[in-house]
Structure 1
């Protein structure tokens, strides 16, 4: 009985936390699902007040982790980024940027090849930079991709 009460309380807490946050649907959904998962995981530990504390901690940690995952790139964002990266590495000269955007999420970014070279075994590789703007925050990353036998580019670092 105590276990069910703790889980129901944790569910209410996670829904309340999500409702208080000024976030998008993906982030809110992630927080709710993460909170519920954390509550269930926390309910497996301890007894009595210790179990309640574990449920509460699991709920809060799960909600935090779920919220962060939820505000990251969604499938459409990743597809746009991957398509733009492939096209840019294949067709753009070094220094020429290509952009992608997802009007549904508001996320966007750029891909810019910076150097092209051929490895000792004859494989073509390109270094590149990319920017990604998620929720108004821009991140920059650098990488290297090499052309595969089927013509696609595979990120190697």
Structure 2
């Protein structure tokens, strides 16, 4: 699971508010398994929102595996994108840094 909030990184961002638990699971799966630069795309069946999540850089921070990412979202007709970083916690969850 992906935990934490992107809202602090981009106040008012559609991308920051659009993700539900299902979308966060998709993003966490991409953080776990996708190589840097490989996009994962999906459409939320409940909301109809579409997502493209791309890990862009992997690095270690204080012994934790971390990754920068880019999230592109289309909510209705409105596209938005945001960047961020997440680090894997001891329990296996990915926590958004920032």
* Greater C-alpha radius of gyration: 1
TM-score range, shorter chain: 0.7 to 0.9
Gaps of 5+ in 2: 1-16
Query: TM-score by structure 1 length?
Result: 0.49
Deviation per CA, 1:112-157: give whole Å up to 9, x if none. Answer: 00000012x2111100000111011110000000010011110012
Match of 2:59 in 1: 117
The structure, 1 or 2, with the larger RCO (C-alpha pairs under 8 Å, 6+ apart) is 2
> What displacement does 1:87 show?
0.2
By percentage of residues, which structure has more strand? 2
Match of 1:150 in 2: 91
By percentage of residues, which structure has more helix? 1
User: What is the Cα-based RMSD across aligned positions, in Å?
Assistant: 1.4
Question: Which among 20, 23, 26 is matched to residue 84 of structure 1?
Answer: 26
Contact 1:93 1:113 in 2 (8 A): yes
Tell me, in whole angstroms, the C-alpha distance in 2 between the residues paired with 1:100 and 1:129.
14
